[in-house]
Amino acid sequence: MLEFYLAQVVNGLIVGLIYALMAVGLSLIFSVLKIVNFAHGDCYMIGGFFSYYLATLLGFHPIAAVFVGMLGVMAVGILIHQLLLKPLYTPKVERKGEYAILMTFGIGIFLQNLAMALFGPWTKRPPDFIPGVTKLGFLFIDNNRLVVAGVGIVIMLVLLYVIGRTFIGKALRAVSQDRDAAAIVGVNPVRMNLLAFGIGVGLAGAAGALIGPVFLISPVMGILPGVKSFVIIVLGGMGSIRGAIIASILLGLVESLGSVFFLDPTRGLAYKNAFGVLLLALVLLFKPTGLFGEKFVRLE
Amino acid sequence: MRKLFVVLAALGLGFLGSAAEYILIGGVAPLSAPGAAESGHEMKLAMEMAVAEINAAGGVLGKEIKLVVEDTRGLPEEGSAAMNRLADMGVVGVVGEFHSAVAKAEIEVAKARKLPFIISEAWADVLTAKQYKYVFRIAPANSLFYTKVADWIRAVGFKNVVAIVENTDWGLGVNGVLERELGTKPNIYGEKVKYTYIVAERTVTDFTPQLLRFKAMRPRPDLIMNIFTGTGEYLIVKQAAEIGLAPTRETAMFAVGTSALYPEFWETVGDYGLFVITKTGYHPILGVTPAIKEFVSKFREKYGRTPTFAAMEAYDSIYTLVKAIEMAKSTDPDDIVAALEKVRHDGVLGTIYFSTEKEPAWMYHQWPGAKAVVIQYTEVGQKYTEALLLWPAILKP
Amino acid sequence: MSEKGIRKVNLAALMVIGALALAVPFILHSYWLHVAIIGLYYALLASSWTLLAGYTGQFSFATMALAGISAYTSALLVIKASFPIWGGFLCGIAAAAFVGLLIGMLVLRLSGPYLALFTIAFSEITRITLNAEYRLTRGDMGLTVPYLFGGIENKIPYYYTILGILAASLTLMWLLLRSKYGLFFRSIREDEQAAAAMGVNIVRYKIMAFVVSSAFAGVAGGFFAHYVGTLTPNSIMELPRMGLIIAMAVIGGIESLAGAVSGALVVQFLQEYLRAIGMWRFVIFGLALILILRFSQNGLIWPLYQRLAGRRVEAKTEPELELPESPEPGVSPGGGGA
Complete DSSP assignment for C1-46: --HHHHHHHHHHHHHHHHHHHHHHHHHS-HHHHHHHHHHHHHHHHH
- Tell me what pLDDT residue C2 has: 64
> Distance, in angstroms, between C204 CA and closest chain B CA?
38
Neighbours of A33 (CB within 10 A): 24
Q: Is A224 on the interface with B (CB under 8 A)?
A: yes
Supply the pLDDT for residue B291.
76
Put simply, whether A71 touches B (Cβ < 8 Å) is: no
Q: What angle do CA C41, C46, C47 make, to 5 degrees?
A: 100
Helix axes A2-33, A40-56, angle to 10 degrees: 110
Judge contact between A33 and A196, C-beta under 8 A.
yes
Contacts of residue B294, Cβ cutoff 8 Å, sequence gap at least 6: none
Element housing B23 (H / E): strand B22-29
Average pLDDT over residues B272-296: 82
Mean pLDDT of B108-130: 91
Query: Hey, which of A115-124, A196-205, C197-206 has the most confident mean pLDDT?
Result: A196-205
The verdict on a CB contact (< 8 Å) between C34 and B105 is: no
Kindly state the DSSP code that residue B380 receives in the 8-state scheme. Answer: T
pLDDT of B352 strictly over 80: yes
To the nearest 10°, report the CA torsion of B142, B148, B151, B153. -70
Cβ pair A142, B235 in contact under 8 A? no
Asked whether residue B184 falls in the same domain as residue B270, the answer is yes
Q: What is the pLDDT of residue B7?
A: 45
Judged against a pLDDT cut of 90, whether residue B378 lies above it is answered with yes
Residue in chain A closest to B196 (alpha carbons) equals A266
Distance (Å) from the alpha carbon of C190 to chain B's nearest alpha carbon: 39
In a domain, B239, yes or no: yes
Q: Do A117 and C278 touch (CB under 8 A)?
A: yes
* A230 touches C at CB < 8 Å: yes
> Predicted confidence band at B283 (pLDDT cuts at 50, 70, 90)?
confident
Higher confidence at residue B169 or residue A157?
A157
CB contact under 8 A, A107 and C118: no
Residue C190 distance to chain A (closest CA, Å): 8
pLDDT in tens, A23-50: 999 999 998 988 999 999 999 999 999 9
Are A109 and C243 a contacting pair at CB < 8 A? yes
> Which among C34, C152, C276 has the least Cβ separation from residue B108?
C152
| Residues B17 and B127 both lie in one domain | yes
What residues does B226 pair with on adjacent strands?
A: B164, B255
Q: What is the pLDDT of residue B334?
A: 93
How far does the CA of residue A116 sit from the closest CA of chain B (Å)? 8
Min Cα separation A104/chain C (Å): 9
Please report whether residue A300 resides in a domain. Answer: no
Number of Cβ pairs < 8 A linking chain A and chain B? 108
| Residues of B with Cβ-Cβ distance to A133 under 8 angstroms | 241-242, 244
Closest-CA distance, B179 to chain A, in angstroms, reads 13
Same domain, B247 and B180: yes
Chains with ≥3 CB–CB distances under 8 Å to B? A, C
Residue pLDDT, tens place only, C96-108: 999 999 988 887 7
pLDDT tens per residue, range A248-257: 999 999 888 8
The pLDDT, as a whole number, for residue B13 is 47
* Residue pLDDT, tens place only, C233-277: 887 887 888 988 998 999 888 888 999 999 999 999 888 888 778
Q: Do B9 and C230 touch (CB under 8 A)?
A: no
Give the pLDDT confidence score for residue B22 in this predicted structure: 85
Query: C110 — contact with chain A (CB < 8 Å)?
Result: yes
Average pLDDT over residues C216-237: 90
Question: In this predicted structure, what is the pLDDT of residue B394?
Answer: 55
Number of structural domains, chain A? 1
Instruction: Indicate whether B396 pLDDT > 80.
Output: no
H or E segment to which residue B391 belongs: strand B388-391
- In this complex, do B77 and C142 lie within 8 Å of one another by their Cβ atoms? no
Confidence band, pLDDT 50/70/90 cuts, at residue A300: very low
Decide if A297 is inside a domain: no
Mean pLDDT to the nearest integer, A247-266: 83
Q: What is the mean pLDDT of residues C192-205?
A: 81
B323 domain-assigned: yes
pLDDT of residue B37: 79
Chain A residue with CA closest to B33: the answer is A121
Computed from CA positions of residues B216, B221, B226, B231, in that sequence, does the dihedral angle turn out positive or negative? positive
Of B9, B32, B167, the CB nearest to C278: B32
B135 and B147 co-located in one domain: no
CB contact under 8 A, B32 and C273: no
Instruction: Determine the number of helices (DSSP H) and then strands (DSSP E) in chain A.
Output: 11, 2
Contact: B230, A133; criterion CB under 8 Å: no
Do B230 and B134 share a structural domain? no
Q: How confident is the model at residue C166 (pLDDT cuts 50, 70, 90)?
A: very high
Domain annotation covers residue B285: no
A122 pLDDT band, cuts 50/70/90, is confident
Q: Collapsing DSSP states into helix, strand and coil, what is residue A271? A: helix
From A215's Cα to the closest Cα of chain B, the distance in A is 6
Q: Does C191 touch chain A (CB under 8 A)?
A: no
pLDDT score recorded for residue C327: 39
Cα angle B279, B285, B288; round to 5: 115
Neighbours of C208 (CB within 10 A): 19
Q: Which of A240, A192, A231, A204 is nearest to A30 (CA)?
A: A240
Query: Looking at the predicted structure, is the pLDDT value of residue C332 above 60?
Result: no
C-alpha distances out from residue A290 to A246, A252, B233, B379, Å: 11, 17, 37, 52
Task: Report the run of H or E that residue B253 belongs to, with start and end.
Answer: strand B252-255
Residues B164 and B268 in one domain: yes
* Cβ atoms of C132 and B167 closer than 8 Å: yes
pLDDT at residue A294 in the model: 53
Share of chain C above pLDDT 90, in %: 34
pLDDT for res C316: 46
Domain assignment of residue B383, yes or no: yes
Q: Please tell me whether residues B125 and B178 are part of one structural domain.
A: no
CB distance A143 to A131 below 8 Å: yes
Burial class from Cβ neighbours inside 10 Å (0-12, 13-18, 19+) for residue B14 reads exposed
Q: Is C291 on the interface with A (CB under 8 A)?
A: no
Burial of B202 (0-12, 13-18, 19+ CB in 10 A): middle
Range of the domain at B273: 143-280+372-395
Record: contact B169-C334, CB cut-off 8 A: no
Give me the residue from B197, B235, B244 closest to A266, CB to CB: B197
Contacts of C332 in chain B (CB under 8 A): 1
| Alpha-carbon distances of C239 from B210, B339, C62, rounded to whole Å | 27, 46, 9
Domain range C3-330, CATH architecture: Orthogonal Bundle (1.10)
Chain C residue with minimum CA distance to A275: C125
Per DSSP, the residues of A227-272 read HHHHHHHHHH-TT-HHHHHHHHHHHHHHHHHHHHH-SSGGGHHHHH
For residue C313, pLDDT over 70 is answered with no
User: Is the pLDDT score of B232 beyond 60?
Assistant: yes
Query: What ipTM describes this predicted complex?
Result: 0.86
Are both B97 and B57 inside the same structural domain? yes
Residue B9 amino acid letter: A
Domain count for chain B: 2
* pLDDT (0 to 100) of residue A293: 56
Q: Which sign does the torsion angle of CA A167, A169, A172, A176 carry? A: negative
Interface partners of chain A (CB pairs < 8 Å, 3 or more) are: B, C
Which residues, 6+ apart, have CB-to-CB distance to C273 below 8 Å? Answer: B8, B12
C125 touches chain A (CB under 8 A): yes
Residue A97 lies in a domain: yes
Q: What is the pLDDT of residues B29-51, one digit of tens each?
A: 998 777 777 788 889 999 999 99
Taking alpha carbons only, the member of C142, C134, C165 closest to residue C225 is C142
Could you tell me the CATH number of the domain that includes residue A160? 1.10.3470
Q: Which residues of B touch A (CB under 8 A)?
A: 32-35, 37-38, 164, 167, 196-201, 203-210, 212-213, 215-216, 230-231, 234-235, 239, 241-244, 264, 267-268, 270-271
Residue A123 within any structural domain of the chain = yes
Q: Does C276 touch chain A (CB under 8 A)?
A: no
Task: Locate the domains of chain C by residue range.
Answer: 3-330
Output C48 or C303, whichever has higher pLDDT. C48
B254 and B327 in a common domain = no
Pure H helices in C198-279: 202-228, 233-237, 239-252, 257-273
Q: CA dist C99 to C62, C73, C103, Å?
A: 10, 12, 6
Cα C222-C244-C336 angle, rounded to 5 deg: 100
Could you tell me if B236 and B269 lie in one domain? yes
Lowest pLDDT segment from A276-285, B6-15, C80-89, C186-195? B6-15
Question: Shortest CB distance from A227 goes to which of C110, C120, C246?
Answer: C120
Identify the sign of the CA torsion A55, A59, A63, A65.
negative
Same domain, B200 and B337: no
Q: How far apart (Å, rounded) are the C-alpha atoms in residues A82 and A69?
A: 20
* Pick from A101, A270, A278: CB nearest C125: A278
pLDDT at B1 over 60: no
Do B54 and B191 belong to one domain? no
A to C CB pairs, distance under 8 Å: 130
Residue contact B201–C128, C-beta within 8 A: yes
Residue of chain C minimizing CA distance to A113:
C283
Asked if pLDDT for residue C334 goes beyond 50, the answer is no
Of chain B, the percentage scoring pLDDT greater than 70 comes to 92
Q: Mean pLDDT of all residues in chain B?
A: 87
Find the range with the poorest average confidence among A279-283, B4-8, C186-190, C209-213.
B4-8
pLDDT of C168 above 90: yes
* Interface touch C141/B124, C-beta < 8 Å: yes
Using the beta-carbon criterion (under 8 Å), do A11 and B208 form an inter-chain contact? yes
CB contact under 8 A, A234 and C285: no
Locate the DSSP E strands across C105-246.
Answer: 143-144, 230-231
CATH number of the domain encompassing residue B133: 3.40.50.2300
Indicate whether A298 belongs to any domain: no
DSSP symbol at C56: T
Q: What is the mean pLDDT of chain A?
A: 87
Look at chain A and count its residues.
300
